[in-house]
Amino acid sequence: MAKVGIVGLGIMGLPMMKNVLAAGHEVVGYDRNESRIDELVKAGGKAAANVAEACKGVDFFITMVPDSPHVQDIVHSEGGLLDSAEEGLLWADMSTIRPDVSQQLAKDVAKKGIRALDAPVSGGEQGAIDAVLSIMVGGEEKDFDAAKPFFDLMGKTVVYLGPSGSGQTVKAANQLIVGMNFQAIAEAIVFLEAFGVDTEAAIDVLGGGLAGSRCMELKGKSMLARKFEPGFRIDLHHKDFGIITQAAREAGVVIPGGSLIAQLMESARANGDGGLDHSALMRGVLRMSGKEV
């Protein structure tokens, strides 16, 4: 059995590690929120006091944090990855960050012999709990092959996509599709409700046809019930749309729908919905329609 280290035990990181523990591996983890470390220990893992302790002597190291600056800090800060990791460490950053930052960090750590993969995930909290995440991986293919047995403990669809940054680029495309999908579902529900249609029946039949999607399957009924407990917060999806729009601009790609969703995410945050699930884009549709939120 292997030893896995992780920094970042949030909504995604903790259930992912519980699945690694369930497979019989040792897990040592660190998070700025001590209660999350306590939960890992209750599940059978070990506590790390800092990044250095989380990456020392492990076979596989994971970072799962909110944004690019957090990963950069883990790598470059005093006592961080460059200071503390041993040569040959296999590191997968499973956060969602800018592709260009992933590429630069892979170059930075390679100077110390650290093997870097960018491996963002999709599937939300439930996907992490059920170990059915989609994992999109960039880096050296031989390093992907070494990491795949670990990825398989956390995800159902694990795909190698190419050199460093490829995983993050595909994740940006994923977030573009998901954001637009939730907006479409939200608009459809508000439209249906305005006509007094049996919305539960409508979601069932729509879900079985071409309009069906994983987003509708997972969140359609909760959107009808106005339940927006976060599986993935609007704040984080808003951050992702910053990545998307910047990357599209740099590539000279026009994404009019994506630009609109970025603005709607900003509006949701301005209205205090940043901590809700990204399906809470529906609240914006309700507001604009003069409906009760």
In the set 46, 156, 171, 221, the catalytic residue is 171
Give CA–CA dist 50/87, Å, rounded. 19
What's the full length of the chain, in residues? 293
- Do the Cβ atoms of 37 and 30 come closer than 8 Å? yes
Distance in angstroms (rounded) separating the CA atoms of residues 140 and 156: 21
Q: Name the DSSP letter for residue 77.
A: S
Q: What are phi and psi of 216, to 5 degrees?
A: -65, -40
Contacts of 24 (CB under 8 A, 6+ apart): 1
The verdict on whether 156 is a catalytic residue reads: no
Distance, in Å, from the CA atom of 34 to the CA atom of 81, rounded to the nearest integer, reads 20
CA dihedral 15, 121, 81, 101 (to 10 degrees): -150
Report the relative pairing of strands 133-139 and 115-118 from DSSP bridges. antiparallel
Residue with structure tokens 């999908």? 181
Q: Could you give the CA distance from residue 120 to residue 71 in angstroms, rounded to a whole number?
A: 13
Residues marked active site are found at 171
